[in-house]
A and B are shown apart, each in its own frame.
Chain A
Amino acid sequence: MADTPLLKLRDISKSFGSVQALNGVDFEVSAGEVMALVGDNGAGKSTLVKCIAGTHIPDSGEVLFEGREVHIHSPKDAARLGIEVVYQDLALCDNLDVVQNMYLGREAQRFQILNEATMEHHTSETLSSLAVTTIKSVRQTVATLSGGQRQSVAVARAVMWNSKLVILDEPTAALGVAQTEQVLELVRRLGQQGLGVILISHNLHDVFETADRITVLRLGRNVGVFERLKTTQQAVVEAITAGVPTRVAGIPSTAGAGT
């Protein structure tokens, strides 16, 4: 492995009372890579992601970000490192327009006055850098956007803040076919732009469309890491449903990964 991965989790455990949600899980994602995180309900995907996003704090194990050990205790810590989460139930305000949503909570100001021009300018720039062209006006309210467009805005917002790692929680769950395609295209583009992307999805079609590697969890343990080009949906489904949870020593080599 030539590069140090952007994010590396080693031997992460987390329990809630008597429930062992994560049991010695390893996970990694490199810059410029889309890493899918799959598993059945209760496999520990959400818990793992919350440990990365600072919502939960792992009981044991270590987190390395860009090769340095970090302690993420709150969503603010995560944001400071450049980790952004796009939630499944979109965290957008319907009554605000695209610009206002993109800058929500981090408004640009000049002499205590909102700097609309700067915000509008950068929003347009960010959207066009992600090739989001379906949004006619950045001054239309989010209520008037389609599901795919909203998801694009949510992703663009996560990207705009010089983030290095973007976590997408079921980004296509509520979308139609064409809109799903739109969002998957966007996810691929994030990887191409050099960001690390973690994609959580139940939909293996989506995963095989976008991911470079696939981490499978089952019952709070690692089952394995698959390279998309060297595996089949069949194999991944088997791993999800019947895979033998193993304590993998190290993560399989990424040499010749599908990038």
Chain B
Amino acid sequence: MTTADVVGPDRAKPLEEEQLAGGVRGLYERAWLNLRTGNLGPVPIIVGEIAVVVIFGFTATNFFTSVNFVNLIEETAGTAMLAFGVAFVLLLGEIDLSIGYLAGIGALVVAELQLPGSSLQMNGILAMLIAIAAVALIGGVQGSIVAFVGVPSFVVTLAGFLVWQGVILNKLEQRGTIIIQDRWINYTDLYIFSHLAGWLIAAFFTALYPISILYKTIVARGTQIAQQNWLLVGVKAAGIAIAAFGTVAICNHGKIIDTPEGLPLACVIIIFFFVLLTFLAKWTTFGRHVYAVGGNAEAARRAGINVPRIRVLVFMISGATAAIGGIIFAAQVNSVALTFPPGNLLLNAIASAVIGGVSLFGGRGEVRGALLGALLIGTLQNGLNTANVSNGWIYIVTGLVLLAAVTLDTVARRLQARSGR
């Protein structure tokens, strides 16, 4: 659901006669221009994802099954959630190293609040809301130290990394594991929609892109701005429809013994936040200001933007997404254990955003990059797992893919600079 595209360079509005032609020729010219100038967008990562799927489809025995597909979604959901927050923090030109353990804190708070037999034993939904708010607040405090005091975010969040790790250790060292029994909490990763509900959800999300285009066209009516390339819109809409209905079709096809599978709630949560955060980044003043602060904080300040406020809010988003991701991870195993968060969660989340093309230096990248990156890493690790490759090799391959993706991006950007775009 790449609603964000419409705002980007796609809608270039030439003042002069350089106007790109419409229709097939326009699409071809645009693609060629982008290719020549190294403006590849999400194409390489989508190609990479397809390649990974094809390779494992042939090499790993249980990879190309719908049950594994559902597994893949449930495994990737938490990482993708954290990667969304990472994308925002990176857009600002900052870093948040604490999210791995903030995810742990989110899960821990939920587990404590729902604990049967304790004085609290709260409703799961309420517990989750409280946990998300609490961790967002922690993010806000860390962000305030960055924004108002001026301590580098690397240091503040490294301190957070240690502190929150310590808190989790203290809480769980004696008890080892807290079991989560509340069904609402466990649903976040494991609930499976009925087939019909799956189709309806796919239809809903597929409709969002055409609706966004329709809205833009209505708003632009009567002004002199360039029209959409309708062929490109059609191609994108078709791509989104195929992805959405394809996902549901594969999920619905699965059967564990005799129980039919379906679309997992985790998938819907991820897509929901993807749409929400893309909207926030690309359609609202706040998002515009995040890009501005990441691009040139001084210019943003002179333009009257309240830069510290933007910084604090972004760290709060980072905290909130970390908490949601943490809850999803906890739901996956119905518990919070001392081993939480799962190994490499922080680095996987950052790698996801970076593979997805979000610049470490701020101001460049998209929320969709985080989703695509998480999907690529998730598929890769799932595929290697099902192919019975050792953990060591999984790390090595993930590392090499990260390096390759960023190298490709850097080379493409150099081309872009050379062609003066």
A interface residues with partner B (beta carbon < 8 Å): 75-76, 79, 87, 90-97, 100, 104-107, 109-110, 112-118, 120-121, 124, 127-128, 133, 135-141, 144
Q: Distance (Å) between the CB of A237 and the closest chain B CB?
A: 33
Contact A118 B223 (CB under 8 A): yes
Contact A104 B9 (CB under 8 A): no
Max count, chain A CB within 10 A of own CB: residue among B13, B216, B224, B284: B13
Interface residues of B in 199-254 (CB under 8 A from A): 216, 219-220, 223-225
Number of B residues near A (Cβ < 8 Å) is 37
- Identify the closest chain A residue to B364 (Cβ): A95
- Identify the closest chain A residue to B362 (Cβ): A95
**Assuming A76-B304, A95-B363, A115-B219, is B15 touching A138 (CB within 8 A)?**
yes
Contact A137 B14 (CB under 8 A): yes
Sample 20 A-B pairs with CB under 8 A, ordered by A number: A76-B304, A90-B299, A91-B296, A91-B303, A93-B292, A94-B296, A95-B294, A96-B295, A100-B288, A100-B291, A105-B300, A114-B284, A114-B288, A118-B219, A120-B13, A120-B225, A124-B15, A133-B16, A135-B15, A137-B13
- When distances are taken between beta carbons in the complex, the residues of chain A under 8 Å from B259 are none
- When distances are taken between beta carbons in the complex, the residues of chain A under 8 Å from B11 are 139
- When distances are taken between beta carbons in the complex, the residues of chain A under 8 Å from B400 are none
In the assembled complex, B298 has its CB within 8 A of some CB on chain A? yes
Contacts A95-B295, A124-B15, A139-B12 aside, 6 further interface pairs with beta carbons under 8 A come to: A93-B292, A104-B288, A104-B305, A117-B219, A136-B15, A137-B12
- When distances are taken between beta carbons in the complex, the residues of chain B under 8 Å from A137 are 12-15, 18
- When distances are taken between beta carbons in the complex, the residues of chain B under 8 Å from A140 are 9, 12, 421
* Cβ 8 A contact of A144, one of B13, B223, B288, B420: B420
Contact B296 A136 (CB under 8 A): no
- Identify the closest chain A residue to B37 (Cβ): A144
- Identify the closest chain B residue to A139 (Cβ): B12
- When distances are taken between beta carbons in the complex, the residues of chain B under 8 Å from A133 are 15-16
CA separation between A117 and B216, bound complex, in Å? 8
Contact A136 B298 (CB under 8 A): no
Interface string of B260-304 (1 = CB under 8 A from A): 000000000000000000000001110011011011101110111
- When distances are taken between beta carbons in the complex, the residues of chain A under 8 Å from B7 are 116
- When distances are taken between beta carbons in the complex, the residues of chain B under 8 Å from A90 are 299
- When distances are taken between beta carbons in the complex, the residues of chain B under 8 Å from A113 are 283-284
Contact A136 B18 (CB under 8 A): yes
- When distances are taken between beta carbons in the complex, the residues of chain B under 8 Å from A75 are 302, 304
CA separation between A92 and B288, bound complex, in Å? 14
* Cβ 8 A contact of B13, one of A87, A93, A138: A138
* Cβ 8 A contact of A128, one of B9, B15, B285, B291: B15
- Identify the closest chain B residue to A113 (Cβ): B283
* Cβ 8 A contact of A136, one of B14, B219, B225, B305: B14
State the 7 A-B residue pairs at the shortest beta-carbon distance, nearest first.
A105-B303, A95-B295, A95-B363, A93-B295, A117-B220, A105-B304, A121-B223
Q: Distance (Å) between the CB of A10 and the closest chain B CB?
A: 28
Interface string of B113-147 (1 = CB under 8 A from A): 00000000000000000000000000000000000
Q: Distance (Å) between the CB of A111 and the closest chain B CB?
A: 10
Contact A136 B285 (CB under 8 A): no
- When distances are taken between beta carbons in the complex, the residues of chain A under 8 Å from B283 are 113-114
CA separation between A96 and B298, bound complex, in Å? 14
* Cβ 8 A contact of A104, one of B223, B299, B363: B299
- Identify the closest chain A residue to B224 (Cβ): A121
- Identify the closest chain A residue to B296 (Cβ): A93
- Identify the closest chain B residue to A128 (Cβ): B15
**Assuming A113-B283, A116-B219, A136-B14, is B225 touching A92 (CB within 8 A)?**
no
CA separation between A76 and B304, bound complex, in Å? 8
